[in-house]
Amino acid sequence: MLPTPSILLIDDDTDDQEMFTSALAFIDSSIVCSIATNGVEALRQLKNADTLPDMIFLDLNMPLMNGAQFLKEAKATNRLRDVPIIIYSTASDIRTIEEAKQLGAHQFISKPEKFSELVGLLHGLLYPATK
């Protein structure tokens, strides 16, 4: 049996949060998903957490501290450096993707429009051996 992953979603869009958490619940209802609405809130949650998430999904366009700023900060923090951060954004231009990867993003995925596509995408990321 595969271990149940824990996820942190950093995204200020409530519709995207709901679709993401619904997709995770569809895959496996025991997946733990915490949500932060911006980079400042996420850093505060991570600083106070007893255990770190297995993966962080990070939107780029958010208030207070955007995704690129959070990514820079996280990769400069010893405790967070090795947590895979996956950019989860509506942006899909080559320049933005390359910039995110240079800042240390583990992967870059564009937000799918269809629920079924999101389920397939998340399942493949969370359980790669069972694709």
pLDDT in tens, 43-86: 999 988 888 999 999 998 888 888 889 999 999 988 898 999 99
Pick one of 3.30.70.120, 1.10.4160.10, 3.30.530.20, 3.40.50.2300 as the CATH number of 6-125: 3.40.50.2300
pTM over 0.85: yes
Secondary structure letter of residue 4 according to DSSP: P
3-state SS assignment for residue 24 = helix
| Unique residue bearing structure tokens 């240079």 | 102
| Residue 92 confidence (pLDDT) | 79
Residue 37 has pLDDT above 90, yes or no: yes
pLDDT of residue 1: 38
